[in-house]
Amino acid sequence: MIHARPLLGEPRRADRPFLAINMIATVDGRAAVNGSAVGIGSPTDHHLMMELRAEADVVLHGAGTVRADPLSARVPRDLLQRRVTAGLPAQPTGAIVTRSGNLPVPHPYYDTATLVYVCSDNRVTVQLPTVEVVRIQSVEDVVADLAHRGVRRVLCEGGPTLNSALFAAQLVDDVYLTLAPKLAAGPSPLTLINGPAFQPMLRLQLRSCVEQEGELFLRYRVDYGL
Ligand SMILES: NC(=O)c1ccc[n+]([C@@H]2O[C@H](COP(=O)([O-])OP(=O)(O)OC[C@H]3O[C@@H](n4cnc5c(N)ncnc54)[C@H](OP(=O)(O)O)[C@@H]3O)[C@@H](O)[C@H]2O)c1
């Protein structure tokens, strides 16, 4: 088993959910190869991602990730019963943050309940009964809206631009990072956080480190020094 259970903690503040970010990088720090994270991780990493989703009320993505990678917010069939036994809906709610409103349609993401958080007045390209569009100003509003809906655990799966805003707003509790034993190289590297520099740097406390077949599975707690 990779990391102790539960993977997602209890909310650390009354006014917002617990929020963990889960990402993967190559040893040279690349978060994407040829514009996609697909192919960086192993099946073990994929399984951990699904186990994290299995504990989440909401799985959060930036629109760039939804456009880049063939993903949804769902768990596979074998994890449905575990969620129901834990008192959760069979599937997590998917949530996408966008400013442009430009989301891919059609897309299997919207097969289950999806919140689209739009940080502008732009028209949203997806209009479906499963999709609720919520107008917001910032990622703080996203998390506040989720708290208002009774959400207790959020798993954010990136991407790097959304991560940047969440860290800057001090909304991230834990970071799950898989370090794949691979080198990608190439110009203009995309790393795990894409935005203004943190000054001072944010400190992380290592809480768990597991190696399997050369892949490192790391869990950190973010220390905002509060
Ligand atoms: N290695 C990994 O674990 C991992 C995980 C996820 C993604 N990725 C990779 O990351 C790349 C995509 O990078 P990215 O930085 O573009 O991803 P992203 O953060 O998912 O998407 C950026 C877009 O999301 C929206 N967004 C993000 N933060 C926002 C905010 N604070 N307010 C309003 N909208 C916001 C905007 O959408 P609009 O453009 O629609 O306005 C923005 O352009 C892909 O290559 C993907 O494969 C890697």
The answer to whether residue 154 sits within a structural domain is yes
Q: Among 45, 99, 100, 188, which residue has the most ligand 1 atoms within 8 Å of its CB, making it the best to mutate? A: 99
Rg (CA), the chain: 17
139 touches ligand 1 (CB under 6 Å): yes
Domain presence at residue 197 = no
Collapsing DSSP to helix, strand or coil, 73 comes out as coil
- What one-character DSSP code corresponds to residue 150? T
Token pair belonging to 161: 């631009």
The answer, yes or no, to whether residue 75 has pLDDT greater than 80, is yes
Asked whether residue 193 is assigned to any structural domain, the reply reads no
Say yes or no: CB of residue 21 within 6 Å of ligand 1: no
Q: Which of 141, 162, 166, 171 to mutate to test the pocket of ligand 1 (most atoms within 8 A of CB)?
A: 162
Q: What is the pLDDT of residues 171-213, one digit of tens each?
A: 999 999 999 999 999 988 899 999 999 999 999 999 999 999 9
Copy the structure tokens of residue 89. 């809906």
Q: Decide: pTM greater than 0.95.
A: yes
Q: Which domain holds residue 140?
A: 18-187+205-223
60 in a structural domain:
yes
d(CA 89, CA 110): 16
Identify which of 201, 209, 208 has the alpha carbon closest to the alpha carbon of residue 225: 201
Residue 196 lies in a domain: no
CATH code: domain of residue 103: 3.40.430.10
Q: Cα separation of 97 and 226, whole Å? A: 27
Considering only CA atoms, which of 149, 188, 122, 179 is closest in space to residue 60? Answer: 149
Give me the residue label for tokens 């050369």.
214
> Is the residue at 200 inside a domain?
no
Does residue 14 contact residue 178 with C-beta atoms inside 8 Å? no
- Give how many domains the chain has, as a whole number: 1
Q: Is the CB of 64 under 6 A from ligand 1?
A: yes
The pLDDT assigned to 70 comes to: 85
Atom of ligand 1 nearest to the CA of 100: 41
111 is a domain residue: yes
Residue 167 lies in a domain: yes
Q: How does pLDDT run across 115-170, given as a tens digit for each residue?
A: 999 999 999 999 999 999 999 999 999 999 999 999 999 999 999 999 999 999 99
Paired residues of 133 in beta bridges: 116
* CA neighbor of 61 nearest in space, from 14, 17, 29, 93: 93
pLDDT at 126: 97
Q: How far apart are CA 167 and CA 146, in angstroms?
A: 17
